[in-house]
Structure 1
């Protein structure tokens, strides 16, 4: 899984187009960074940038932007409606995909340390990155704003986390840290702003005050009227969509609106959204309505329809979902080949692709045949009695088939690492030690990929047994072939694994891997025979 971090730096300049564009260019030109949005505000005199990158690139992008701000923004001349304390006022890092909050904390600290050292400015940590409870929230640190820094920064309790405790007039101070992804979400009402605000008060965490808290955690909200759309909106900030996701808020607004006898006409996501939030909504409606949907694009379509995300503006997944915005084609030259080209490649005068990649293909075909028979059984009137069984059996086979596809290239790539290590110099004792260590690493990688093929294939057996027992009997030859293919794919991966095990020097590693692989191999042979026996009895 690709690691994706979002960064949302806020700079104290919203009027000078040249400076705004220069900061944007610095981010966009940083390798590995994708600039998603630039939102300047003249009255606030502030611009919010949104970009995503891998953990290393995101730090470089933020530093590049800060470097431009150091040259072009002078806080001594800054005035605006928004609270602020620095040229780069706040710079949060947010986990999106494949990255934990703890990793983002470390990213923010790495950025803060480098910013302080390279630009000689004071930097404070906030939110999850904060080390002191009394200065965890941004308003606590920013109290007194830019003008209050000279008096506060010299106090022991307000010394910066990074950099010298001195006032830098042209810069001020910067706050950085890790926080969760914030989703700006609006629900549309055919009602008044007062009615929208009443609903928001009932739902937001703060509620109507200490005496009457709201229904949902990690939610801020209010109501307003949007002249451009000619409707009212409950406008919400979801500070943690894993605590309170958009679909739960949408359904809650519908409940509250029904009490007031007003209509809900869809909703709107402002800015971008993580894929997980949309898929969560899809899974909610799939379960609620008893639907059976496997493909990701269909799940997204369901979520968009049920939430009414097209109601005020088109919701295009390619421009609204972060993972799709920055998606790149998978690096799968073998899996992306035609069947003919792959067979010709295997049959060529080369040691790769070899048995490991071929095993992944065969195992994937086996699981795929099982999924196919399940889908050909589901929804057929003749087999309505087993409809519930098919709904349980199809997903693991479908998922196993898809998960095995990347293993086709992974096996060949792992072997390439070992071959590369063979070419390392061995002229000195140090070079020889390094070469041997790299060879062992290459071998272990060449072992762990076929073990992954075996493990993924192993997960499909229970479902394959179920399809053999309940699936469309007219497709029994497909089930039989699927079982044989799955077994052969696992067996082939096992043979690849033990072949690469010969030169492993670590006896404990050898023992652990061989025991695990042996169990999977034996279970594979047993399950394949069980399936063939089931099919034989059903055909009599």
Structure 2
């Protein structure tokens, strides 16, 4: 369980710091994952603050902060390593993905103007496109309203990407109108902080998790600003309700957790612990004891976003 005050990354620049939380389609090969983290940490002016991975998801999440230019440089260094190592033709995991470097969200820290964050997202997108990677801009970086949603862009995943890009309405914002043969595409943008929160269930049957996820997600008439998937964790012998809370001030963590537990009881299934993925905004945890959720939360996951908006979705 976490203790102490939230992290407040230092910035040498008056415009403040920028956070990047890239999701990489690799969660099993420790040698590769260490190399990816090292590529980020080796960049001057960047602080790697968190790293996590899951073998069933076959996915790794990194979090690092610095001034916008340094964050772009570190993300480009990460991309070079990922594109060399990951071949999506051989990648299988339970989490949806369309790229080896699947999604690259930038999040403004205190003192970082939105224009700086948008410029950073654009700069990285141009570098990815120069490598022959189709680029989609999402959230606040979206070039069209219908492209703001990450799930909408990622629908069809890597396997359906060629057909998707062949449609005029899904021509990428940058890069070629065809998938990279091994790296797919990448989704890049500026978004607000969110909470990624998973609750495990003590059953191998994915049915309960899928039904609970369908009941709580906003798109199905459930809880506002909640996205949820029910997935199998074969390597752990469990299933999971995987949740994104995109406006945690409207629908807080305990509300989501309680609904999942109620649903599990109705299904005759016991909860088997919960987990936070990546940085968690400190304000989302105020007044909350992670022990109530049977959750392990490291101090390096708690990040202060006191002057950042919290309204966008993932």
- TM beyond 0.5: yes
Contact 1:126–1:136 (8 Å) recurs in 2? yes
Q: Does 1:152 find its partner at 2:164?
A: yes
Spell out the pairing of 1:525-540 with structure 2 (5 A cutoff).
none
Q: Contact 2:50–2:63 (CA<8 Å) still a contact in 1?
A: yes
Is 1:51 aligned to residue 64 of structure 2?
yes
Q: For the aligned residues, what is the CA RMSD?
A: 4.2
Deviation for aligned residue 1:7: 1.7
Q: CA deviation at 1:165?
A: 2.5
Taking the TM superposition and a 5 Å limit, the aligned residue runs for 1:407-422 are none
Distance in 2 (CA, whole Å) between partners of 1:8 and 1:157 is 28
Secondary structure in structure 2 of the residue aligned to 1:97: coil
Q: What is the 5 A alignment of 1:216-227?
A: 216-220=223-227
* Contact 1:96/1:274, CA 8 A, preserved across alignment: no
| Cα contact 2:49–2:300 (8 A) shared by 1 | no
Is the CA contact (8 Å cut-off) linking 2:218 and 2:224 kept in structure 1?
Answer: yes
Matched with 2:31 is 18
Separation in structure 1 between the aligned mates of residue 198 and residue 162 of structure 2, nearest angstrom: 40
* Unaligned segments of structure 1, at least 5 residues: 189-193, 225-232, 261-266, 282-302, 325-540
Q: Is the 8 A contact 1:101 1:179 kept in 2?
A: no
Does residue 38 of structure 1 match 2:38? no
Give the deviation of 1:26 after TM superposition.
Answer: 0.4
Aligned residue runs from structure 1 range 335-484, under 5 A: none
Measure, in 2, the Cα distance between the counterparts of 1:248 and 1:82: 24
For CA contacts below 8 A with separation 6 or more, give which structure has more relative contact order: 2
Q: From the two aligned structures, give the one with the greater helix fraction.
A: 1
Deviation at residue 198 of structure 1 after TM alignment: 10
Gaps in structure 2 of 5+ consecutive residues: 1-9, 201-206, 232-239, 267-272, 306-314
Write out aligned runs for 1:197-346 (5 A). 205-206=218-219, 209=220, 213-214=221-222, 216-220=223-227, 237-246=244-253, 270-271=276-277, 272-278=279-285, 281=286, 303=287, 307-311=288-292, 312=294, 318-323=299-304
| 1:139 aligns with one of 128, 147, 151 | 151
Partner SS, residue 175 of structure 1: strand
Verify the 8 A CA contact 2:195 2:276 in the aligned structure 1: yes
Q: Count residues in correspondence.
A: 272
Q: Work out whether 1:163 is the aligned partner of 2:175.
A: yes
Q: Shift in Å at residue 100 of structure 1?
A: 5.0
Aligned residue in 2 for 1:121: 133
Q: CA deviation at 1:241?
A: 2.8
What does residue 176 of structure 1 align with?
188
CA offset digits 1:38-88 (Å, max 9, x no partner): 333333433222223332222112111001112222333333333322221
Partners of 2:283 and 2:304 within 8 A in 1: no
Does the aligned pair in 1 maintain the 2:276–2:295 contact within 8 Å? no
Q: Distance in 1 between matches of 2:211 and 2:289?
A: 22
Q: For 1:192-222, what per-residue CA distance to the aligned partner results, in whole angstroms no more than 9, with x for missing partners?
A: xx9999998887534xx4xxx44x5312468
C-alpha spacing 1:168/1:36, structure 2 compared with 1 (3 Å): same
Deviations 1:214-249 (A, max 9, x none): 4x531246899xxxxxxxx99753212344444776
Q: Per the alignment, do residues 277 and 4 of structure 1 end up closer, same or farther by CA in structure 2, a change over 3 Å counting?
A: farther
Distance 1:143 1:234 in 2: 19
Offset, 1:176: 1.0
Residue 155 of structure 1, CA deviation: 3.7
Greater strand fraction, Structure 1 or Structure 2: 2
- For 1:364-411, what per-residue CA distance to the aligned partner results, in whole angstroms no more than 9, with x for missing partners? xxxxxxxxxxxxxxxxxxxxxxxxxxxxxxxxxxxxxxxxxxxxxxxx
Q: Distance in 2 between matches of 1:200 and 1:109?
A: 34
Give the TM-score of the pair, scaled to structure 2.
0.68
